[in-house]
Every structure is written in structure tokens, then in C-alpha cells.
Amino acid sequence: MTKIGIGVIGAGYMGKAHSVAMNAVGAVFDTPLKPVCEMICATTEQGAAAKAASLGFNRSTADWRTLVDDPAVEAIIIASPQATHKEIALAAIARGKPVLCEKPMGASLADARDMTEAAEAAGIVNMVGFNYVRTPATQYARKLLEDGEIGDITWFRGEHTEDFLADADAPANWRTRGRATGTMGDLSSHMINCAMALMGPISQVNADIETVHKQRPAEQQHGDAGTTVMEEVTNDDHAHCLCRFASGVMGHLYFSRVSTGRKMGYAYEIGGTRGSIRFDQEDQNVLWLYRMGDPEAERGFRKILTGPAHPDYVNFCLGPGHGTGYQDQLIIEAKDFLNAIHEGKAQWPTFRDGMEVTQVIEAMWRSHDSRQWVSVEN
């Protein structure tokens, strides 16, 4: 058994998820490398110490540089705000340490390019945290497509829709300030990654981006009694996009944080000449498959419950239909990261894959601004 020291930078929602995954992955998948939760970094020394105690880390710090420089930390997970990703990643790469970076990779396409070029030049194992695409159902959908089970693909529709800011009276917060934390900077990357994983590169886009609730009550009210102080929303609420894949297939993408009633609407539908596939993350253990070759009297979408026959499921449960959950996606991701380190080569999705997602997002913004189709390559 070979141990590897893990450092996690960021102790919030995703920092906790990655920490739990690293504590569990060795037992779930019996990975050749057994992670040791060595150090966690939070914004204060006291907070970091508390997180270390609750999440099973040997040590803690409030300075990410201390974590990156520590010789016992042999691989690094970046789960801090995206504006910090580039500086941390470049420091880790300079020290020869593998990096798993949460999405989106950086605050800009330039950040993503710098990170990608540095990792590739140094030959350092790198990965981006697109966890939703790792569900057993979506992994199986990829296999169905690769095996040609629904014929030649003719159409793709994908969405990532949630409603955490659907209420116009919800106060302004960090999510409503600045382009990087709008829907395009947050939710869009997951579905773009999914679309490219299933369909291949996106070559052209025609996008429309909108802020639905242009003002929100300020977080802290300092006006006269009985008067609500409003704050301008400086980023986007939702967007949709016509696209063409490099294969020639047409598609449509939609992203929203104001989609009333949707909690985790990471969903897609794929049409082919011999069948169709449907998936919705709100029911993540089900894949719907239609085959034209079925008898006429029995034609219709078939409900496939994930089970041990589907990728990565059996390590969690021997019972079909019992299901996996959100945290299990992170454990699968941790397994892939550890295996990439063990094998000495980057594993999909790499920094380059993450950069290409950012490139599509940038093309969508340019399309919106110019009101025309835009080539992603340019």
C-alpha cells in the first residue's frame, strides 16, 4: 500500500465534499494510492483547525502557500473561489504536485490558458472537477453513444437549471456581483462539459444572455426605516444558446438560476437515427432509452435503473436500483484523480478540457454582445 498526502484548499461546501471523498475513496475503490488527509486551508487559523478536526486532517493552515510548500502534501485539491485558482495552481505545478481544480478553472479564459500551458509543459497530472458527468447513468449514456446504439446523432439539448435565485426579493449576495459568479460563470460550465463529453467539440454558438432581476434588496440595509435599499445585480440570471458541434450536429443549451421549481435540472436529450436518450440529474439513477428497433406495439422510452452493470456503481452497492448520490460522484472523481497520479498521466477532464469549456463560454459572451453566430476557435 502506497500512501499519498492530500492538501485541500478551501473548506466550504466543495472543500468538505472533496475531503469526505478522500476519506472514503480508498475503501470504496481499493485504490493503489491510499490518500492521507494531510492539511486543509481555510480563511482563518481557528476556522481551519476546526475543519481539520471535523474532516479528519492531520494539520491546518490559513495560508495556502504553507500548504503548497509542505513536503507532506503531495497532491492538491483547489476548492477556493475561482479568482484564486490560477495563482494556486501555478504554484503547485512549479513544485511538481498534481492538481485537481474545481470548476470553473479560473476567472477568465486567459487564466485557464495559463494553467493549461503550465501543467502540460511541466507534465503534471491535472484534472478539473466536473463531477456530475461521472454518474453511472451518464457514463453509460457515453458508452451507448460510442457503441452507436441510437444510430447517427442528429440533435442535442442540454440544460442546467436551478431556482436558488428565482425569488426576486432574495437579497443580493456574492452570487449577484461580478461576471465570474453569474449563471454563465457558475452553472453553464457543467452542461457545456457534459455536451462536449457526449457530443464532442462545439464549433459555433449563437447566444442570448439576460439578467431577469436587475435589482435586489441589499444584504445590509442602511436606509430610512421602512425603506428598502436596492442593489444593482451585475451579472446574468439565465442564458440560452444555439450551437453546432464540430461533427455538424445541431444543439441547444440553456442555463438558469431563476428556473422556478428546478433544484438540480442538469438534463439532456439526444436524438439519433435509430433511437433517443434522456437524462435528468434530479433522478440521477435513471436513464431513459428509446430504440426504434423494438416491436411497434412496445415502442416507447425504456426506464433503465442503474445497477452493478453500469460504470462505477458496483463499488457502492450490489443491489440494482438502490442508487448512488451526489457525494458518490465526488468519490468517483477522487478515484480517477488518484489513478491518474498512480499511472503518471492526466485523466479526463484535464485542464485542457476545462479550458475548452471556458473558451465556449467566452464565445457565447461574444455572440451575445455582437448579436451573431461566433466561431469558438476564433
Instruction: Map the chain to HEC letters.
Output: CEEEEEEEECCCHHHHHHHHHHHHHHHHHCCCEEEEEEEEECCCHHHHHHHHHHHCCCEEECCHHHHHHCCCCCEEEECCCHHHHHHHHHHHHHCCCCEEEECCCCCCHHHHHHHHHHHHHHCCCEEEECCHHHCHHHHHHHHHHHCCCCCCEEEEEEEEECCCCCCCCCCCCHHHCCHHHCHHHHCHHHHHHHHHHHHCCEEEEEEEEECCCCEEECCCCCCCCCCCCEEECCCCCEEEEEEEECCCCEEEEEEECCCCCCCCEEEEEEEECCEEEEEEHHHCCEEEEEECCCCHHHCCCEEEECCCCCCCCCCCCCCCCCCCCHHHHHHHHHHHHHHHHHHCCCCCCCHHHHHHHHHHHHHHHHHHHHCCCEECCC
Ordered by start, the domain boundaries in the chain are 2-130, 136-283+285-324+356-370
Average pLDDT estimate for 114-126 = 98
Per-residue pLDDT tens digits for 44-60: 999 999 999 999 999 99
Kindly report the pTM of this predicted structure. Answer: 0.94
Average pLDDT estimate for 275-297 = 96
Fold entry, domain 2-130: Rossmann fold (3.40.50)
Fold entry, domain 136-283+285-324+356-370: Dihydrodipicolinate Reductase; domain 2 (3.30.360)
Per-residue pLDDT tens digits for 219-240: 877 767 778 899 999 999 999 9
Per-residue pLDDT tens digits for 160-190: 999 999 999 999 999 999 988 999 999 999 9
Average pLDDT estimate for 22-36 = 97
The pLDDT value recorded for residue 223 is: 67
Average pLDDT estimate for 81-91 = 96
Per-residue pLDDT tens digits for 229-269: 999 999 999 999 999 999 999 999 999 999 999 999 999 99
